[in-house]
């Protein structure tokens, strides 16, 4: 797997990710180079055209790191987060756009989410584009991949984690107490959360829309609800 761009590579180095090789544009002088060498990473200076050829995103900023594939955690690792006073977990249903997933991971990391759970099917995996868009968040937030999202929801409910679904027909998030142990299900902007998954959730929360468009981008919706959770918990 490749990590491209300054911030994602810096964050990967900070967290001790296994980087096999770092390609750097010739003539570049940056802290990344010294940090990589201190970590024992092989640094190779190459012409820009080679970086352009190797780049998957087209935005390498003069740096491409080759690393092992993204390591997913287990759901138990998210649930047993020792730093969490109240559980806050995000589950994604049908997010197939890597830009959306990258943005969601960035939002969730900033909002202090314990971890993100994605299904093995009907979902984009954490790839080079996701890592780039997340701006380094992939190095700090736990991501679990499960065979069946609905089974996972049932398991969370057995742990007394209240599962909310983000849905336009739900109760306003401003009228909902989001301060306890919760999980939030976000669906794609095209299809939303699937009917069975929605039925399994304990309740639905909605975002008030005042314009003519009746839906938000999935990552934007996730950010709005996540920061309502942050607001409520900070105001208590």
- Could you please report the per-residue DSSP string of 69-85? PP--B-HHHHHT-TT-S
Q: How far apart are CA 75 and CA 92, in angstroms?
A: 13
Phi/psi for 116 (5° steps) reads: -120, 135
Which of 76, 38, 188 is closest to 122 using CA atoms?
188
Half-sphere exposure of 11 (CA within 13 A, CB side): 18
Q: How far is CA 65 from the centre of its chain?
A: 20
E-assigned strand segments in 87-161:
88-93, 115-119, 142-146
pLDDT at 236: 58
pLDDT at 212: 81
pLDDT at 40: 85
Instruction: Dig out the tokens for 87 from the structure.
Output: 């559980």
Burial class of residue 156 (count of CB atoms within 10 Å of its CB; 0-12, 13-18, 19+): buried
pLDDT at 185: 98
199 Cβ contact list (under 8 Å, min separation 6): none
Half-sphere exposure of 98 (CA within 13 A, CB side): 13
Domains annotated on the chain, with CATH: 2-67 (3.30.1330.30), 75-235 (3.40.1280.10)
Which residue has 């249903």 as its token pair?
A: 93
Cβ atoms of 116 and 90 within 8 Å: the answer is yes
Q: How far is CA 71 from CA 1, 98, 120, in A?
A: 11, 17, 14
Q: How far apart are CA 182 and CA 86, in angstroms?
A: 8
Strand 19-25, strand 63-67: pairing: antiparallel
The average confidence (pLDDT) of the chain is: 92
Q: How far apart are CA 236 and CA 234, in angstroms?
A: 6
State which residues of the chain have pLDDT below 70.
Answer: 236
Phi/psi for 48 (5° steps) reads: -60, -35
Which of 151, 5, 155, 12 is closest to 71 using CA atoms?
12
């Amino acid at each position: 797997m490749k990590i491209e761009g300054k911030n994602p590579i810096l964050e990967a180095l900070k967290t001790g990710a296994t980087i096999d090789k770092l390609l750097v544009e010739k003539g570049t002088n940056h802290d990344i180079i010294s940090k990589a060498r201190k970590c024992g990473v092989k640094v190779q200076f190459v012409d820009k055209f080679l970086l352009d050829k190797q780049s998957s995103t087209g935005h390498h900023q003069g740096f491409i790191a080759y690393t092992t594939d993204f390591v997913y955690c287990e759901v138990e690792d998210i649930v047993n987060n020792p730093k969490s006073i109240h559980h806050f977990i995000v589950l994604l249903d049908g997010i197939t756009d890597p830009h959306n997933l990258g943005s969601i991971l960035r939002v969730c990391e900033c909002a202090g989410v314990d971890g993100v759970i994605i299904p093995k099917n009907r979902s984009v995996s954490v790839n080079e584009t996701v890592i780039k868009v997340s701006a380094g968040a992939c190095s700090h937030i736990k991501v679990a991949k499960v065979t069946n999202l609905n089974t996972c929801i049932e398991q969370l409910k057995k742990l007394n984690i209240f599962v909310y679904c983000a849905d336009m027909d739900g109760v306003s998030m401003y009228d909902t107490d989001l301060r306890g142990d919760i999980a939030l299900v976000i669906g794609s902007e095209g299809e939303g959360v699937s009917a069975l998954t929605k039925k399994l959730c304990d309740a639905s929360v909605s975002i008030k829309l005042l314009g003519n468009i009746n839906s938000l981008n999935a990552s934007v919706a996730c950010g709005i609800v996540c920061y309502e959770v942050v607001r409520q918990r900070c105001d208590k």
